[in-house]
Structure 1
Amino acid sequence: MSFSGKYQLQSQENFEAFMKAIGLSDELIQKGKDLKSTSEIVQNGNHFKLTITTGSKVLQNEFTLGEECEFETMTGEKVKTVVNMEGNNKLVSTIKNVKSVTELKGDTIINTMTLGDIVFKRISKRI
């Protein structure tokens, strides 16, 4: 199953609590909470290129499954991680105590990030 495509954010849960927990300022949280982000995923075999555009901010990360890579986080920090595939539709990684699971279900991507007992969920649809 290919993740390639463009996806528009439809809904999110626990945005403010999660962003506060990872260290985003209240000002940035207020600015970002109503912005609809667009994600573009280009999958070529085991290699992925991810571009997330939220307002004027563009975040780009690339990775190859099972290999260490460097990700830029939502706070602008660069961290090393490894992304693995579970089954044929789930990408899993851990970045600085945050477990990220991105699951593709038809034309919907569900991204769940967990930090301690805070679960942040984003649902995006293919456009």
Structure 2
Amino acid sequence: MSFSGKYQLQSQENYEAFMKAAGVPDDIIQKGKDIKGVLEIVQNGKHFKFTTTADTKVQVIEFTLGEEFQMDTPTGEKVKAVAHMEGDNKLVTNFKGMKSVTELNGNTITNWCPRRPQSQSSPGFPKGARTVHIKTQKDCQTHL
């Protein structure tokens, strides 16, 4: 299953609490919560290119499955990450002790950071703030 396409942000659940717990400043959280960004994914085999356009900011992340790459967090921190596939529709990225799952179902991509058992809770993430769900819908007219 190919992730390639352009996706428009549809909804965000628990965005503010998650970002606050991640250490993102309030002004950046407030700007980000109302922006309906566009995510373009180009997949060529095991190589991915994610281009996120939100307001006037464009962020590009390129990586190959199983190989370490660098990405920026919402706070601007550069972190090392590794991504791999689970099945044919889940892209899992591990970085800074966190796990991010990007799941493709039909024309919808859902991205979330799964909750961990209490014994593995990330410092600074109160219960309930450890998960964020972001749904995007493919714009079929601009599908690659």
TM superposition score category, shorter chain reference: over 0.9
Maintained 8 Å contact 2:25/2:75 = no
What is the CA RMSD across the aligned residues, in angstroms?
Answer: 1.2
Unaligned runs of 5+ in 1: none
User: Equivalents in 2 of 1:86, 1:114: separation in Å?
Assistant: 14
Maintained 8 Å contact 1:51/1:58 = yes
User: Equivalents in 2 of 1:104, 1:65: separation in Å?
Assistant: 16
Unaligned runs of 5+ in 2: 116-120, 122-126, 140-144
Structure 2 match to 1:121: 133
Alpha-carbon distance, 1:98 to partner: 2.3
Once the two structures are superposed, the pairs formed by residues 29-48 of structure 1 within 5 Å of their partners are 29-48=29-48
The one-letter code matched in structure 2 to 1:13 is E
Maintained 8 Å contact 1:60/1:72 = no
User: Equivalents in 2 of 1:53, 1:88: separation in Å?
Assistant: 26
Structure showing greater radius of gyration is 2
Structure 2 match to 1:4: 4
**Percent identity at matched positions?**
59
Runs of 4+ in 1 over 2 A off after TM superposition: 114-117
Maintained 8 Å contact 2:43/2:49 = yes
Structure 2 match to 1:68: 68
The one-letter code matched in structure 1 to 2:90 is K
Maintained 8 Å contact 1:71/1:78 = yes
Maintained 8 Å contact 2:8/2:38 = yes
In structure 2, the residue corresponding to 1:23 is in which secondary structure? coil
Correspondence 1:101 to 2:101: yes
TM-score normalised according to structure 1 size: 0.94
